[in-house]
Amino acid sequence: MNCTKLFGQSLMAREFERQVVEIQIRVAVLNRYTTLGMPVREPVA
């Protein structure tokens, strides 16, 4: 939860359905950042 708060403390949307979408977008962006930060592992001969 701490990482999702880095994008802002509160939700901008007022309707529940839009809040759900907003959270899904935040999680997708956070997952993308995590993927970009992970090292690529290759086996050494």
Tell me the average confidence (pLDDT) per consecutive run of 10 residues in the chain, 45 residues long: 67 85 88 84 84
DSSP state letter for 40: P
pLDDT at 5: 66
CA–CA separation, 12 and 25 (whole Å): 12
Contact between 7 and 17 (Cβ < 8 Å): no
User: Angle CA(14)–CA(3)–CA(17) in degrees, nearest 5?
Assistant: 25
Which uninterrupted H or E stretch holds 25?
helix 16-37
